[in-house]
Every structure is written in structure tokens, then in C-alpha cells.
Amino acid sequence: MDELMRGRVYGADHDDPDPGPQPGHTYRELVGGPLDGLLLDVTGWSAADLEEGAALLTELGAYGPGGCALYGPRPADPRRWDWHGDIP
């Protein structure tokens, strides 16, 4: 997972001096869509939540502010979550 220890974490403030991953946390890499390349902190998530994926708020998706991007685990590599589209 060391390759996932680079990049910016979803939800980190743009002016955060350290927007990257933190030791002791668990992350998933977001692949494709408006949040491509960001890391999602899934520390403490249940196995069921990890299987389900997430609807993540983003202003960058098809629906603009208030919209969400849907991401879910890649079957061959659940450390990477693929984009499945946007919802309002």
C-alpha cells in the first residue's frame, strides 16, 4: 500500500499544509471521474461499507455543487475504487 501513501486526501482543505495521507490510516485510491487520483480515508469503515463503496460530495461532477460521485471497489483490486457515475 506504500504506493497509496502519496497524493491528496479527499476532503482535505486546499490550504492544508499537509493534505496527504496520515500514518495509521487506511485509504482507497479513487480512479476515474471527478475525484480521480484522490485518496479516500476509510479508517474504521466496516467490511460491508467497504464492499458497498461511497457517494462522495463534489462540485466537480456532472451536477455541480451538491452533486455526488459514486465510487466502488474494483473487483480485482479492492484498494482502488472505480468511478460509477454522478448523481444529483
The model's pTM is 0.89
How confident is residue 1, by pLDDT bands cut at 50, 70 and 90? very low
Residue 4 has pLDDT above 80, yes or no: no
pLDDT tens, position by position, 7-40: 899 998 878 888 899 999 999 999 999 999 999 9
CB 35 within 8 A of CB 10: yes
CB 29 within 8 A of CB 4: yes
Give one DSSP letter per residue of 64-77, joined into a string.
-TTEEEEEEEETTE
Residue 3 has pLDDT above 70, yes or no: no
Burial of 55 (C-beta count, 10 Å sphere; 0-12/13-18/19+): middle
